Amino acid sequence: MTSDRHGPLHLLPSPSRRTLLGAAALSLGLAAPAAADGPPPGRAVRWEKGRVFPTFHASGAVRVADMAELDGFDRLLLVSLQGLVNRERPEIYLIADPVDETWIPDLPVRARREEDPWNLIERYRDRIGGAVLYDMDSPHTINLATTIAGLRGGVVATAAQAEQYGLPVLEDLRGRFADDPAAVHEWAMAHLWPQCTDEILVGLPPTHNVEVDDVAWTEVLREDERVTDSSNHDMYSIDLSDQLGPDELYVRFSDAFTDDGWGPGVYSVELRVDDEVAASFTPGTDDEAPYLFDGTTSQTKEGMRFADGGNYFVYRFEVPAEASSLNIAIEMENQFVVSATDQAPTRVEPFSSFRDFPIATTALVSWLPPSGESGSQFEDLLTQVEPGTVYAGWFSDDVAGEWSGVELCSRAGVIVVAADFYMNATILSALRASTRARPAPPVTRTPENRTYLTLTFGEGDNIQYCQRHMRELWDDPARGQVPMNWTVSPLLEDIGPAVLHHFQRTAGENDLLICGPSGAGYTYGDSWPEDRFGVYTQLSGGYMSRTGLDLIFAYSTPEPGSAPPPLPTWVLEEYAADVDLRGILQTDEMGDISQPGAAVPLIGNFYPPGGVEIYRDELLAKIEADDTDGPLFISGLINAWSWTPSDVVTLVESLPEGIEVLLADEFFDLFARTA
């Protein structure tokens, strides 16, 4: 992974809340919301010293409502109701996907089924202070409405929903804001932030794209070979005349081989209608913006847009009804599939997940790309909270947003927790389950002159992954057949103890839970101010000690065009002082970092992209290339989004004799003895 580094951060005095309030009120000329008239917030919410998430007082039973068939507008109303109800007494559990149903037998509480999810409105009408109406023409008002709902004891709704369910209107945001995210955020900082909790920040996209059923895509070009070296970089011309529809054309780029991480890389696009240029642009520039219909899961780098695995991107072009010919010229490379349709493949709906949490806690909800012009607004927001505060949610711009966002948060001493798809936070925080555990005792044997391999599923810092996809992987019958390490977040002790308890209770002798990046939440230790990093390591030490985790998968700050650098000595020494650790597995990709004698034994993760065959071949090539004497230690990272435990079993069973696969605790016990 690589990322552009920012220049030095110049810390300036933070404006006070009073200053922000006055400045934005003068500049925008908009009225603040009326005083709160709903119930006092958060009687069930407790913030405790040494904890980064609150806990909620539990009730004896929960009502389970299935909203899987509802659209984003209806889900938003119900999730906001969930936050409103659960902050007084946690009672509502919502099913958004099958995995939410899977967890119900593991929850230490009686579950009562609600036949119709809309019965919840009537059942809890006395808890609803009213409705806050948002404006889909200014989507960021959805985040405003969420924040206001938390402050005023309301739900987030459309005007039609408020009328249908007889909800008085607390605040109507329609027509009050242009579609200007920066201005919306300034207004929120002026009028809402002074009333919000500063214990936590929440970042959620206001909307998301939902796939439309039964869209007929026509494949117009495919690369049939596994090209991973740009050797097919060329200009490709495609006649799309037979795709002419009423007035628009959609062109999708996807990966021809989803298992190896070398999907389409597009450098330029030119569309000609009746031999006249109708569109011409380079990805990642302002010229591309009017045509990029859905780039959510793609990335840009040095004038190229690319999408790997199951990801894709879509361009939309307007085409005159009288057009008779249509041609597109695309400069691209690697493993592409190009498809076209005249039907809109997605629709825009409100993003509802995790909104129960900010409503219950009165947290400010924002969505600021951490790079570009909005990056300064994001940095200003981070200065408003103390070191050790959590930013829960995620970032726009996918991977690029992740790297720049985590780096900015790290510099400010703010901890990132990926939580945007985490469901039922206000229930799962309330249901107590034992998460106390102890690491296995160290092994005493001496390493032999052979190759030792440990294999780790990543992504465990991501609490929504732990709740959702990890549960699906965990239930694979192949789990337990060979040694596998599983990254998890120790913060589940607070925000999902029943989730963590399930993994602890059902782990077998070939399963080892280790801490996901990079301790008590996702961070880049080398980007923290040295005099503040102890805040993070002390939090990590507490959470990891209580949950029995003594190994960390950690990130260093990505650098453009090069492998991630080893964590510096001062970072390792801070970990050693505050966290009882066997070792650290660090992002590396090539697996070249090897420091058994460091303050904490440190090894880089070997991470070849691709499926089992490619992984095996590159692993054996790495072993063959090693010319050192003594044992060879390799920490292999497994892509949790494209691999399963069955794939890991296939890999391990294909390896030759002389390679011993170990769990990471025994692996590090042996590794440390080679110092």
pLDDT tens for 130-167 read 999 999 999 999 999 999 999 999 999 999 999 999 99
| Averaged pLDDT for residues 505-530 | 98
Whether 429 has a pLDDT exceeding 60, the answer reads: yes
Q: Classify burial at 631, counting beta carbons within 10 Å of its beta carbon; exposed 0-12, middle 13-18, buried 19 or more.
A: middle
| Averaged pLDDT for residues 391-397 | 92
pLDDT of residue 33: 53
| Averaged pLDDT for residues 215-230 | 96
Whether 184 has a pLDDT exceeding 50, the answer reads: yes
Whether 389 has a pLDDT exceeding 90, the answer reads: yes
Give the pLDDT band of residue 44 (cuts 50, 70, 90).
confident
Whether 413 has a pLDDT exceeding 80, the answer reads: yes
Domain ranges of the chain: 17-210+349-428, 218-344, 451-672
The pLDDT tens digits for 251-300 are 999 999 998 889 999 999 999 999 999 999 999 999 999 999 999 889 88
What does the angle CA 343 – CA 345 – CA 346 come to, to the nearest 5 degrees?
A: 135
For the chain, the distance separating the N- and C-terminal CA atoms, rounded to the nearest angstrom, is 28
Architecture label for domain 451-672 = Alpha-Beta Barrel (3.20)
Residue 213, classed as helix, strand or coil, is coil
pLDDT of residue 42: 64
Residue 129, classed as helix, strand or coil, is coil
pLDDT > 70 fraction of the chain, expressed in percent and rounded: 93
On the question of a common fold for 218-344 and 451-672, the answer reads no
| Averaged pLDDT for residues 605-612 | 91
Which among 539, 598, 541, 590 is positioned nearest to 571, based on CA atoms? 598
Whether 596 has a pLDDT exceeding 80, the answer reads: yes
Q: Classify burial at 166, counting beta carbons within 10 Å of its beta carbon; exposed 0-12, middle 13-18, buried 19 or more.
A: exposed
Helices (H), 70-212: 72-86, 98-103, 119-123, 141-152, 159-164, 181-191
Looking at 2.60.120, 1.20.58, 2.40.128, 1.10.287, the CATH number of the domain 218-344 comes to 2.60.120
Q: Structure pTM? A: 0.91
Average pLDDT, the chain: 92
pLDDT of residue 41: 55
Residue 426, classed as helix, strand or coil, is helix
Give the span between the Cα atoms of 556 and 586, in whole angstroms: 7
